[in-house]
Amino acid sequence: MKIEKEIIAVGEILFDCYPNYKVLGGAPFNFIYHIWRLSGKGKLISRIGDDELGNEILDRLNSENFDTDFIQIDKYRKTGRVYIKLNNEKVPEFIIEDNAAYDFISLIKKAKEYITNEAGLIYFGSLAQRNKVSRNTIRKLFNNNSKFFFDINLRQNFYTKKILSNSLLNSDIVKVNEDELKIINNLLLKTDYDLIKISQQLIKEFKIELLCVTLGEEGAVLMKKQKISKHKHVVENIKDTVGAGDAYSAVLCIGYLLQWELNKINTIASEFAADICTINGAIPKDKTFYNKYIEVINNEQN
């Protein structure tokens, strides 16, 4: 089994700004960067400002030979920034700038043609849908004959009931954390809270093929119709948890496309996410970080 077609992420690329330093981030970028490193596939559709931070992004990605063909330049809005503060448990609290370049992603002809011909899976989230321009771009992609991965990632108040409902209706894979699951239940299902029952109801009502609920230090639950996998991976030497969910999503996506069984997906995705927690930020500086996971994936593809 091989990953034949391209994996494409649509949404924000930005800088996560800590009190003393900044790192490249944004859930769609983190996800697709891991996908690219792990599988050799991966394209990002996003938008950055015509500014110093935007130039820094292009310089960094071009130096690593990451394809920037579908990263648009906005002359009027700034490159996105998120200000991050870690609490005592190393869990991030976010302050997200509004009216950023990634709020105005368009579907350029070159990208549209590429997606039509090459996309096997399209990944998207909720933050880039806060503005109608990027939201409409994402919705136009729903007509494409590919799989869709909705990594919910609710941030502040940048979501609505309609955005969540429409996104769920068009998704084959959904990843959500437990706090987000409770919000979705309150907005859409309005039933007594029970993680498994609500998850199964979401799968049924929105025809979701694979649902993941992440539980922080308690692990993750994967569900596919009546099949359930629960896994908890102990993390040692935590630096921060920024990007752990994006790392999990990357391996979840690859395992899904390679048709791994649920327990295998959950175990390897959890291990990769745990390793991300031992570095600062969401993206490893050392490329060898990926080696053991590349070996696992290559063994499955050969």
Q: Which domains are present in the chain?
A: 6-301 (3.40.1190.20)
What pLDDT is recorded for position 124? 98
Q: What is the mean pLDDT of residues 248-256?
A: 98
If we measure between CA atoms, which residue out of 135, 143, 59, 131 comes closest to residue 96?
131
Q: Which residue has the higher pLDDT, 223 or 301?
A: 223
What pLDDT is recorded for position 82? 92
Look over the chain and give the mean of its residue pLDDT values, rounded to a whole number.
93
What pLDDT is recorded for position 301? 67
Strands 210-214 and 220-224, sheet pairing: antiparallel
Interatomic CA distance for residues 17 and 2, integer angstroms? 37
50-54, 79-83, 230-234: range with lowest mean pLDDT: 230-234
- Spatial contact of 38 and 7, defined as CB atoms under 8 Å apart: no
DSSP code of 233? -
What's the order of all strands across the beta sheet hosting 227-231? 71-74, 43-49, 6-10, 119-124, 147-151, 173-177, 210-214, 220-224, 227-231
